[in-house]
Amino acid sequence: MKMRIDKLLSVCSIATRSESGRAARAGRITVNGVAERNAARQIDTERDEVCFDGARVIYREHVYIMLNKPEGYVSATEDGRDPTVLELLPDEVRRAGMFPCGRLDKNTLGLMLLTDDGELAHRLLAPKRHVEKRYRFVCRNEVSEADRQALETGLQLADGYMTKPAAVELFDDRKSGIITLHEGKYHQIKRMFGAVNDNRIIHLERITFGPLTLDESLGRGEWRYLDDDEIAALMAAGNL
Ligand code: URA
């Protein structure tokens, strides 16, 4: 694929476009062993060997982004009414075919994976191998030990669906804690709490998704590219 050097370095989360320009002028970028002072030069990702500070830059076919989702955004690629999580990415980062891998409600916060890798998403979310997800929650009423056990064992939602086993850790106030799921039905956690003692979730934030952990240095609405270790861990989780 033909691509500008500064775009390649940005996609590979090595340098922003302006940093690439400075690095090129400083002689830190080579193409096929020769210093390239113009970061706007087009290269061929299959044929040319680009190095940054001597390290080979490998172009990836797909893009993997961690987003700290804020409230008010919907997990969709398009929505007639509300802004979508994709709108939080700058134009040059948004790729055709990108989508949120899994859904969070409009008022749920936290870790969201954005990618254009449909095969990986399918494997991570398929019911058989659905990856583990952990959420920090706050609910309206204290959760009794019996209710905690019901949430863990599995319970029947209003539509008749039996939830799979989950893990529920309660903090001292018994109104907040961490819930771990291996499935993702519509409004699942809210409906699970609604099914025990008419409880109600008032804050929900996803903190892990499979092997990924929310990077706490990302403010709400901020994002970053996944690093190589995170991508490798996701591939392993998807058996790819
Ligand atoms: N469960 C919910 O109820 N909402 C979410 O956004 C995620 C899990």
Q: Do both 136 and 205 map to the same domain? A: yes
Is residue 74 located within the same domain as residue 100? yes
Residue 129 CA to residue 138 CA, distance in Å, equals 28
Residues 195 and 230 in one domain: no
Residues 6+ apart with CB under 8 A from 25: 37
What tens digit of pLDDT does each residue of 143-168 get? 999 999 999 999 999 999 999 999 99
Beta bridge partners of 213: 208
Total number of domains in the chain: 3
What pLDDT, on a 0 to 100 scale, did the predictor assign at position 12?
80
- The set of catalytic residues is 105
- Quick one: average pLDDT of 12-20? 88
Q: What is the CATH number of the domain that holds 24?
A: 3.10.290.10
pLDDT tens for each residue of 101-149: 999 999 999 999 999 999 999 999 998 888 999 999 999 999 999 999 9
Q: How many angstroms separate the CA atoms of 229 and 213, rounded?
A: 12
- The CATH number of residue 141's host domain is 3.30.70.1560
Kindly report, residue by residue over 51-101, the tens digit of the pLDDT: 999 999 988 889 899 999 999 999 999 999 999 999 999 887 887 789 999
Is the minimum distance from the CB of 187 to ligand 1 under 6 angstroms?
yes
With a 6 A CB cut-off, is 75 part of the ligand 1 pocket? no
Q: At residue 16, does pLDDT exceed 80?
A: yes
Backbone angles phi, psi at 231, to 5 degrees: -65, -40
Regarding the beta carbon of 139 and ligand 1, being less than 6 Å apart is answered no
Per-residue pLDDT, 224: 93
188 Cα to the center of ligand 1, angstroms: 5
Q: Are residues 202 and 136 in the same domain?
A: yes
| 148 and 104 inside one domain | no
Residues 219 and 120 in one domain: yes
Distance (angstroms) between ligand 1 centre and the Cα of 225 equals 24
Residues 152, 83: one domain? no
Taking the C-alpha atoms of residue 162 and residue 153, their distance in angstroms, rounded to an integer, is 10
Pair 90, 101 in one domain: yes
Ligand 1 atom, smallest distance to 107 CA = 6
Pocket test for ligand 1, best of 71, 103, 182 (most atoms within 8 A of CB): 103
End residue of a domain, out of 56, 76, 92: 56
- How many Cα neighbours within 13 Å face the side chain of 159? 8
Residues 101, 220 within the same domain: yes
Residue range 177-197, pLDDT digits in tens: 999 999 999 999 999 999 998
pLDDT of residue 13: 74
Can you give the three-state secondary structure of the chain, one letter per residue? CEEEHHHHHHHCCCCCHHHHHHHHHCCCEEECCEECCCCCCEEECCCCCEEECCEECCCCCCCEEEEEECCCCECCCCCCCCCEHHHHCCCCCCCCCCEEECCCCCCCEEEEEEECCHHHHHHHHCHHHCCCEEEEEEECCCCCHHHHHHHHHCCECCCCCECCCCEEEECCCCCEEEEEECCCCCCHHHHHHHCCCCCCEEEEEEEEECCEECCCCCCCCCEEECCHHHHHHHHHHCCC
Q: How far is CA 167 from CA 142, 150, 163, 203, in A?
A: 17, 10, 12, 18
- Same domain as 51, residue 72: no
**What domain range includes position 158?**
132-209
**pLDDT (0 to 100) of residue 8:** 93
State the distance from the centre of ligand 1 to the C-alpha of 37, rounded, in angstroms.
49
Q: Label residue 21 by pLDDT band (50, 70, 90).
A: very high
Residues 157 and 188 in one domain: yes
Residue 19 has pLDDT above 90, yes or no: yes
CATH number for the domain spanning 110: value is: 3.30.70.580
Same domain, 144 and 183: yes
CA of 192 to the centre of ligand 1 (A): 10
Q: Ligand 1, from 137, 138, 190: best to mutate by most atoms within 8 Å of Cβ? A: 190
